[in-house]
Amino acid sequence: MASYKDQVRSIWERYREEVSRDPVELREVAAWALSKRLWAPRPVDLQTSLASDLADSLREVKRVDKAGREYRAHLPVRSKSENGLPLFIWGDIDDAPRAHVEKGIQQERRSIAADCYALAMKVEHYNEAHPDEEPIQTIFNFEQDIEEEKIARGLGGEDMDEAA
């Protein structure tokens, strides 16, 4: 039997075959699928649903330190349960043990690197598939972007050095 994600992807493919191959907002695909009765809600695990809502909520909490840096207050660390299933251990960055913070930062950095790799593969694929067009260029060094963002938020330059 196909996984749930495979079943949902098949709705996407069917929409593209029967309606349009143009880019589309997914609520439009969802409305079409519901009108065709291609999907029905799954039973809800209340504990999992609340845990997901908690994670979404905790990701949004930001604080500002005395130097004016805005930072996310809560930090998840991926782990595995006793039965091998993935789980996330959440902590508050201001009082979590250093090992938790280091592991969370390393995992987030790996996630960003994986996203950059995926983006590089998209760009390379597109450029190869469209040789008559000017190649899309992508820069993966974000140091200048970070500095520009700090300056835009009033954190760059000498003021930052004095605050540290």
Q: Which amino acid is at 161?
A: D
pLDDT of residue 158: 52
Summary mean pLDDT of the chain: 93
How would you class 143 by CB atoms within 10 Å of its CB: exposed for 0-12, middle for 13-18, buried for 19 or more? exposed
Structure tokens at 23: 């880019």
- Rounded CA-CA distance 155/161 in Å is 9
- Rounded CA-CA distance 49/61 in Å is 19
Residue with token string 């902590």: 91
pLDDT digits (tens, 9 = 90+) for 31-88: 999 999 999 999 999 999 999 999 999 999 999 999 999 999 999 999 999 999 889 9
Composition of the chain by helix, strand, coil, percent to 5? 55, 10, 35
pLDDT of residue 159: 46
pLDDT digits (tens, 9 = 90+) for 133-145: 999 999 999 999 9
pLDDT of residue 2: 86
pLDDT of residue 157: 59
Which DSSP string corresponds to 37-67? T---PPPP-HHHHHHHHHHHHHHH-EEE-TT
